Amino acid sequence: MNIFKNLLKETFAKTKDNIKSSIKSIFGDTKINFEDLEEILLKSDFGLEFTEQIINELKKTSNFNDEKDFNNSLKYLLLNKINKNNSNADLDINKLTIIQIFGVNGSGKTTTIGKLTNYYISKGFKILIASCDTFRAAANEQLKKWATLNETKIIEDFSKDPASVAFEAVKTAKNEKYNLLFIDTAGRLHTNKNLMLELQKIDNVITKSIDENILKLNWLIVDGNSGQNANKQYEEFSKFVKIDGLIITKLDGTSKGGSVFQIAVNNNKPILFLGIGEKKDNLVKFNPEDYINSLLE
């Protein structure tokens, strides 16, 4: 088993133990009782609507032979609900890709950029980072530390507005033949319209600065412990910018491993990576099979 599968197993150990105990209890009696499983799925943050859907579908097949048979049926149902297309994470090193990173305050954007930089450097990419959070000096300092740690060039200028910094970064990335440019934006509450309009402005400036040979992507960072609020964040951000993929953070040691599923299924968007720790290599490319196995194996 590779290191990423081991990390996933450790990350969702609490969720897995809770689900496993509930499945055992279902087969403790001669008649299957789904109430315990429903309660555990809700506590694990699968969400009410999705949990009821899964329970109802399982009830249609009530002739399970044993726990293994039931477990396999649950795995099959979950796997067929999730968007498996995370191909946006497989970037082409032969062209410039520009990725705008955004999310609410405290979602882990800057740390995620540091991890993403480390991940793609290991794939051979030449990476540039743009600090477009011109409001918080602390955020910029954090990003600079990550850039130093990864030996990566950073574009920063507190005298300019964020869109101007983004424009300068795109120009530099093109002129100096970078493969990948990460645009770090200020954390913003999805309810703050002015900041959302600023994000839209950055997005428009980037779009106008590129041609068909450059790939532009927008990735939303979501705290895995934010529950139903994560869906609201997605809904509000998508009103202002197109979202191409999700990265779920702060999942280390969580008992709410179902939050990943809830976010992915409700929005039918691919999850690209999971953040499962503070270290630069604590980032796992999302694999639906590995994720589900880590919950149910």
* Domains of the chain in sequence order: 3-81 (1.20.120.140), 89-289 (3.40.50.300)
Name the range with the highest mean pLDDT among 21-35, 143-157, 169-183, 191-205.
169-183
**214 has pLDDT over 80:** yes
Which of 155 and 76 is assigned the larger pLDDT? 155
pLDDT above 90 coverage of the chain, percent: 37
Token digits of residue 5 = 């599968």
Among candidate residues 215, 214, 235, 231, the one with its CA nearest the CA of residue 223 = 231
Mean pLDDT of the chain: 83
Phi, psi of 272 (to 5 degrees): -95, -45
Among the ranges 102-111, 113-122, 248-257, which has the highest mean pLDDT value? 113-122
Q: Find out whether 222 and 249 touch, Cβ atoms under 8 Å.
A: yes
Name the CA dihedral angle for 11, 280, 245, 120, rounded to a multiple of 10 degrees. Answer: -130
Most confident range (mean pLDDT) of 10-14, 25-29, 252-256 is 10-14
* pLDDT score for 294: 76
pLDDT (mean) for 44-50:
81
In this prediction, residue 250 has a pLDDT band, given cuts at 50, 70 and 90, of confident
At 9, is the pLDDT very low, low, confident or very high (cuts 50, 70, 90)?
Answer: low
| Lowest mean pLDDT segment, chosen from 74-83, 210-219, 278-287 | 74-83
Higher per-residue pLDDT: 89 or 186 = 89
**DSSP state for residue 87 in the 8-state scheme:** G
pLDDT digits (tens, 9 = 90+) for 137-169: 677 888 999 999 999 999 988 778 899 999 999
> What is the rounded average pLDDT of the residues 190-201?
85
- Write down the pLDDT at residue 197: 92
What's the Cα-to-Cα distance from 119 to each of 112, 115, 261, 285, rounded to whole Å? 10, 6, 23, 9
Residue 101 to residue 110: CA distance in whole angstroms: 9
Relative to beta strand 283-285, strand 127-132 is unpaired
pLDDT-above-70 percentage for the chain: 83
Q: What is the pLDDT of residue 1?
A: 43
pLDDT of residue 119: 96
Q: How far apart are CA 205 and CA 3, in angstroms?
A: 39
Q: Given a cut of 60, is residue 4 above it in pLDDT?
A: no
Between 43 and 3, whose confidence is greater?
A: 43
pLDDT at 28 over 60: no
